[in-house]
Chains A and B, each alone.
Chain A
Amino acid sequence: MQTPASFEYERATSVEGAIASLQRLGSGARIIAGGHSLLPMMKLRLANPEHLIDINDLAELSYIREQGDELSIGALTRHVELEKSELLARHFPLFRDAENVIADPVVRNRGTIGGSLCQADAAEDLSAVCSAVKAKAVIRGAGGERVVGMEDFHIGPYVTAVGEGEMLTEVRIPLRPGGGSAHEKVERRAGDWAIAAASAAVWIEGGKIADVGVALGAVGPTTIHLSRAEELLRGKAPSEGLFAQAGEIASADCSPSADGRGPIDYKRHLASVLTTRALSRATARALHQEA
């Protein structure tokens, strides 16, 4: 039987209350959202928090809405809600691509976007998704809010910019015209973590790639931002040849390790193919030409 080590449990009734508890309890305290990454780690004693602060009652952290030129997603929004949201699918279809293949529908009833990002596991699909669309994380502490770009949010494996006494409250994505996006993943079987995954977002203006975001999941210690590929693509007219070149950069710039999901050369191959496919599909969507 797998049982977590003992801890104290409390239920937050407000964001302010959760933050106050985090500050009072210090480094031994941890937030529990869906619990679908944290509880498995606690059962294996890889995580041994002394206090759990349950934020599941904080309905005010569960929403997807358009606010001015941004789309805001509350940290407690569950996978199932991201999957079903028409608003999100219209602006950023890569969320639905990803949600269809994140774990299984039963797990998706519990897991949250906040938990996925704060877990900072390179295989979390939403980390690559949020990097590609250039999302920003809203972190709140007793002193107020700060907003951090995805490139600064994930500091290392299982480490984020969320400090002691702080929590993630919202994910914000800038809304820009001419956009298209896609997420591609290869897994061993239904419901499994990625062997490799690629997220891409493009913004097309006057037949050229005005801006682009590409990120890889599961092929390095953290989510990989493909900045060299982005530089190559920016300002050019989209073409399959160009996307294949970006794929070659993906294969070179990732750093997978060999494990039960496959050897290194296979993962590099996937990084290349999936990057090319994601860019191609994102562009077709931006141009409303998706097959």
Chain B
Amino acid sequence: MHVSISVNGEQVSREIEPRQLLVHFIRETPDLTGTHWGCDTSNCGACVVQMDGQPVKSCTILAAMCEGHEIRTVESLEVDGQLDPIQMGFHEQHALQCGFCTPGMLMTARALLDENPNPTDLEIRTAISGGICRCTGYKNIVSAVRWAAEYEAAAKQEV
């Protein structure tokens, strides 16, 4: 079947099998391998992308279900060499080691801050509880999200 899906603001059109999962549709698009594919069982969260602004597990959605929706992947965060504050936070707070969970964590955390610009540590932990990180013990990920929230609050005040 033919699908046309908006990925990071660009229309990606292709012939696919109806059984193709969104994660593979994305990763088979040139330059879009940032979305990771881990457990394949909806548990690890490495594959999280945003669908209409909400984080979703792309290994558990058919690409065919996404026509007419806005998909955003980790590649959309950096714009013209400028990192998103959430990426800066991960950098500043050493919130990754191997980096496998990072794309999912970033897209989940970005959606959290868009909805709730000043989350508590518990709210951050709850939001990222659908992602598994085998390296960091989560502590630095929570600090990174805090860092980004504070950075964005400060940036807003300056304007």
Contacts and interface: CB of A to CB of B under 8 A. Distances in A.
Nearest to B48: A106
A35 B65 contact: yes
Given A35-B60, A36-B42, A106 B18 contact: no
Interface string A107-148: 101100000000000000000000000000000000000000
Contacts of B68: 57
A126 to B, nearest CB: 17
B118 interface: no
Contacts of A5: 19
Contact of B130 (A1, A7, A106): A106
Nearest to A43: B40
A35 B130 contact: no
Contacts of B45: 104, 106
B64 A54 contact: yes
A7 B51 CA distance: 24
B65 A7 contact: no
Q: Decide if the interface of chain A is mainly helix, strand, loop or mixed.
A: loop
A43 B43 CA distance: 14
B129 interface: yes
B21 to A, nearest CB: 8
Nearest to B127: A105
B57 A107 contact: yes
Contacts of A9: 1, 18, 62, 64
A6 B17 contact: yes
B87 interface: no
Contact of A191 (B21, B40, B130): B130
A32 B126 CA distance: 27
A87 to B, nearest CB: 20
Nearest to A57: B68
B41 interface: yes
A59 B83 CA distance: 36
Interface string A16-50: 00000000000000001001100110110000000
Given A103-B130, A104-B129, A110-B60, A7 B18 contact: yes
A190 B19 contact: no
A106 B65 contact: no
A57 B19 CA distance: 19
Interface string B11-41: 0000001110100000000000000000011
Interface of A: 1-9, 32, 35-36, 39-40, 42-43, 52, 54, 56-57, 80, 103-107, 109-110, 190-191
Interface of B: 1, 17-19, 21, 40-43, 45, 48, 51, 54-57, 60-62, 64-65, 68, 108, 126-127, 129-131
18 contacts: A1-B40, A2-B40, A6-B18, A9-B64, A35-B61, A35-B62, A36-B60, A40-B60, A43-B40, A105-B130, A106-B45, A106-B56, A106-B108, A106-B130, A106-B131, A107-B42, A109-B54, A191-B43
